[in-house]
DNA sequence: AGAATACCTATGGTAAACCCTTAAAAAAAA
DNA sequence: TTTTTTTTAAGGGTTTACCATAGGTATTCT
C-alpha cells in the first residue's frame, strides 16, 4: 500500500517513515510539508493512504482533506494532530477523514490504524473516542455559559417563530394560521421581548442557537 | 447502591431485577413504568442510579432526565433504549445522562455499566460509540442532500452578514463600517440574491446552517 | 373562588427593510 | 493588459417589521 505522509515537522514525518519501512505491505511514496504540495502530489500520484497533519502551515487541514478527496475520492485519509481537540476531530471527520490519531500514538497503534482504514473501516484511538464522548456530554453546558434562562415560548409563538425562520412574512404567517396580520405582529413583539432580540435577525439566531424549535410538530 | 429501573415494558424491568438481585452491592429499590411516576419516585426517595428507558409512554425520556436531575443533581442516569439512534444518544447525553446502553446488552456489560457510572465515570457500549462516530462522519453528507452549492460571499458581504446576525440595523452597519446606508443596502441585496433568501430571517438561517461566518475575523 | 399571570387577539403610527435601476472607482483574476 | 468581480453610492418607491397600547380569554396560584 502506498502511503503519503503530510506533516510540516520533518522529524515527525521521518519517524513515521522509519516505522513504516519495516513493514512489507506499506510503502511511503512521498512526504509533504505543506498543503499545496499535498494537493499537487495527489494530483499526480495514485496512492492509498495519507497521514495528514491537521495543522499544516499554509492551508487548513480540513480544506486540504476536502480538496484531495475531490481529486481522488477513494483515498483513505487519517488525520493526525498534536492535540485532542474535539472541534478539529468533528470537522475533519465531517469532511471525509476515515481515522483520527494523536501524535503521541505508539508504533503498534499507528500500524493498526493504517491497516484498519485500508480495509475500508474507520479507526479512532481510545483517547480520541473519549474526547468526543466528553464533548458530546458537555456541549450544552458549555453553550450555556451565559445562563440565559430563556423564558417559555407559548405554542402560538413557536408556530409563528417557526414560520419566521422559514422566511414567511407576517402577512403570510397570518394567512397560514388564519389569524389577523396584527395578531401575528403581536406574537412577533412578544417573541422579541421574551428572547431579548432587537429584530428578526436576532429572533432567528437565538432560536437556532438554542434549538427552540425542537419538538414543534410539522403538519404537512 | 440503590437502583431504580424505569421502563414501560414490565418484562424488561423484571429481567433487569433478576440480574441485579444476585449482586450484593446493588439493590433495586423501585420500578417505574412511566415518566410521571419516575419524577414522583425521585422526589420521595434518595437513590444512586437510575436505568432510564428513553421511550416512556407519557413523557419524553430527555425531559424526564432533565427533571430528575433538577431534583437530585448527583443522581447517575444510564439511558437505555431498543435502538441505536444517534439523535437520542446525543440529546440525552447533553442533558446529563452518564451512560447509554442498548437493550440487547448482556448481563456482564449491564453490570459493568452500572459500576462504572457509579464510580463517577461514564460508560458507553461499543455499539453506541461506533454509532456516534459514524454519525459524526455522515452529518455533513446527510445535510448536503440538497447540494446547495452556495456561491462565494465576498469579504465585505461577510462583514455585513456578520453584523446583520448580530442584530445591527442597516444604518448601524453603515456607521460601523464607515460606508453609506445605500451601500449596505446594496450588500444586503446581493446577499439575499446570492444566498437565495427572501428576507433577513432567511439570511440568518442560511448563514448559521452553513456556518458561513467561520473564519471571519472579529476585531474588537 | 378570586386574583394574578400568561395567552391570543387586535389597532394605528413609525421605523426599517426590500425592490429596481443605474453607475463609477477599486481590486482581483484571466 | 483586458476582463470580471467587488465595493462603493444614489434616487425613489413599496412592503414589511417594529412600537405602544389594550381587551377578552385561558390558566395557574393562593
What is the pLDDT of chain B when averaged over all its residues?
82
DSSP A188: H
Does residue A183 reach within 7 angstroms of strand D, measured from its CB? no
Does residue A187 reach within 7 angstroms of strand C, measured from its CB? yes
Q: Which domains does chain A have, with CATH numbers?
A: 2-141 (3.40.50.2300), 155-209 (1.10.10.10)
Residue in the structure block whose three cell numbers are 492551508: A59
DSSP A212: T
B196 CA to C19 C1' in angstroms comes to 15
Range in A141-145, A199-203, B154-158, B173-177 with the lowest mean pLDDT: A141-145
Task: Give pLDDT, residue A141.
Answer: 47
Asked if B202's CB is within 8 angstroms of A200's CB, the reply is no
What is the pLDDT of chain A when averaged over all its residues?
82
Long-range contact set of residues A40-43: C-beta below 8 Å, sequence gap at least 24 = A41/A4, A42/A4, A42/A68, A42/A71, A42/A72, A42/A75, A43/A71
Q: Which residues pair with A32 in a beta bridge?
A: A6
Does residue B176 reach within 7 angstroms of strand D, measured from its CB? no
Q: How confident is the model at residue A128 (pLDDT cuts 50, 70, 90)?
A: confident
Residues of chain B with Cβ-Cβ distance to A139 below 8 Å are 94
pLDDT digits (tens, 9 = 90+) for B194-216: 889 999 999 999 998 887 666 54
Task: Give pLDDT, residue B138.
Answer: 65
What stretch of H or E contains B77?
A: strand B76-81
Minimal Cα distance from A162: which residue of B? Answer: B201
Give the separation between CA A137 and CA B216, rounded to whole angstroms: 28
Look at the pTM and tell me if it is higher than 0.75.
no
For residue A124, give the nearest of B95, B133, B169 by CB distance.
Answer: B133
Asked if B199's CB is within 8 angstroms of A94's CB, the reply is no
B83 CA to D9 C1' in angstroms comes to 59
Q: State how far the alpha carbon of A31 is from the alpha carbons of A3, A6, A11, A60, B197, in Å.
A: 9, 6, 11, 17, 45
* Cβ proximity of B49 and B23 under 8 Å: no
For residue A167, give the nearest of B94, B139, B198 by CB distance.
Answer: B198
Task: Please list the ranges in chain B whose pLDDT falls under 70.
Answer: 84, 136-150, 212-220
Residues of chain A with Cβ-Cβ distance to B134 below 8 Å are 122
* Cβ proximity of B98 and B122 under 8 Å: yes
pLDDT digits (tens, 9 = 90+) for A18-31: 888 888 899 899 88
Q: How confident is the model at residue A218 (pLDDT cuts 50, 70, 90)?
A: very low
Amino acid at each position: 500500500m502506498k502511503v503519503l505522509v503530510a506533516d510540516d515537522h520533518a522529524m515527525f514525518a521521518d519517524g513515521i517513515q522509519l516505522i513504516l519501512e519495516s513493514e512489507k505491505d506499506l510503502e511511503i511514496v512521498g512526504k509533504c510539508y505543506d498543503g499545496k504540495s499535498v494537493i499537487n502530489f495527489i494530483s499526480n500520484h495514485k496512492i492509498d493512504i495519507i497521514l495528514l497533519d491537521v495543522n499544516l502551515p499554509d492551508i487548513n487541514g480540513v480544506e486540504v482533506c476536502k480538496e484531495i478527496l475531490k481529486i481522488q475520492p477513494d483515498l483513505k485519509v487519517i488525520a493526525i494532530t498534536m492535540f485532542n481537540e474535539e472541534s478539529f476531530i468533528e470537522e475533519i471527520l465531517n469532511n471525509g477523514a476515515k481515522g483520527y490519531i494523536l501524535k503521541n500514538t505508539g508504533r503498534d497503534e499507528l500500524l493498526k490504524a493504517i491497516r484498519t482504514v485500508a480495509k475500508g473501516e474507520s479507526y479512532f484511538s481510545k483517547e480520541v473516542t473519549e474526547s468526543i464522548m466528553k464533548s458530546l456530554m458537555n456541549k450544552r453546558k458549555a453553550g450555556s455559559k451565559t445562563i440565559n434562562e430563556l423564558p417559555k415560548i407559548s405554542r402560538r409563538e413557536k408556530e409563528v417563530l417557526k414560520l419566521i425562520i422559514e422566511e414567511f412574512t407576517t402577512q403570510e404567517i397570518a394567512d397560514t394560521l388564519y389569524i389577523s396580520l396584527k395578531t401575528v405582529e403581536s406574537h412577533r413583539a412578544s417573541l422579541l421581548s421574551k428572547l431579548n432580540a432587537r429584530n428578526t435577525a436576532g429572533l432567528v439566531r437565538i432560536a437556532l442557537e438554542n434549538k427552540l424549535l425542537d419538538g414543534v410538530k410539522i403538519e404537512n
